[in-house]
Amino acid sequence: MANTQISEWYDLVSCSDLEQGDILESCPVFRPPTDMEWSASGGMPEIGEIGISLVDVVVVSQSCDIAADMWLVVLCPVWKLSAIGKTTPYLDSSFGKEECRRGNLPGYHMIAGCDNADHRREISVVSFRELWSLPLNFVRKFAASQGSRRRMRSPYKEHLSQSLARYFMRVGLPCEVPKFSSSDSKNETEVMKMFRKLDDATQRRVLAALGPASPPVVATRRSPSIIWRMQQWFRGRST
């Protein structure tokens, strides 16, 4: 069946073929008990009960690997924004949501909602903090049993893959290059935080008020002159 575009972000597919960016709803995933023990001396241990949960997931394995009949498919959980906010309070705040949208939270990646009448879905967050691998044949059969499902379109699925790679490629240095601080650094941080909390229309209005040269300056160097003028704008707005 040919893909049917249902939004800028998603196609609708109905087949057993898998690709990176396929979203599978209520997929069974398996969690071993946290108190499982294993002795190096050998022998089969008492594993206990294996937990099974039904979770919305997105395929993050590369499409070329799937086409080459890889054994296991890697999946990440996809949480509705309203649901993840209940377990992760930071993502229930407007500032946290905006930081996630901007890609400033390495463990999470925000994806668009879908307004299609038959496949309506609110804005969601992909979590990289828990991943599962399931056999390819099983995932293909499960996908086929779902009938129609959403598939992320390019470049949105590649953007997701990039975020996943960035999460795993992080490196913490024992000794970093010292920060370049100034007497204005605190004011700059406070101003930029306030600026990011504004809606897009108000941000454009602020930048327009600062002059035609302000957008590239704010986006790159954030010069003291621009920061000072933004600070004055916020002070005038609060009086």
Residue 137: predicted pLDDT? 96
Domain ranges of the chain: 4-32+48-168, 185-238
Q: C-alpha angle with apex 162: 167 to 28, nearest 5 degrees?
A: 75
pLDDT at 230: 65
The pTM of this model reads 0.73
Instruction: Give the integer Cα–Cα distance in Å for 78 and 110.
Output: 9
User: What is the CATH class of 4-32+48-168?
Assistant: mainly beta
Which candidate, 224, 227, 230, 222, places its Cα nearest to that of 205? 230
Query: Terminus-to-terminus CA distance in the chain, angstroms?
Result: 60
Per-residue pLDDT of the chain (239 residues; tens, 9 = 90+): 578 999 999 999 998 899 999 999 999 999 888 877 777 776 676 667 788 999 999 999 999 999 999 999 999 999 999 999 999 989 999 889 999 999 999 999 999 999 988 888 999 999 999 999 999 999 999 999 998 999 999 999 999 999 999 999 999 899 999 887 665 556 667 777 787 888 877 777 777 666 554 433 343 334 555 566 666 666 665 54
78 three-class SS: strand
Q: How far apart are CA 196 and CA 203, in angstroms?
A: 8
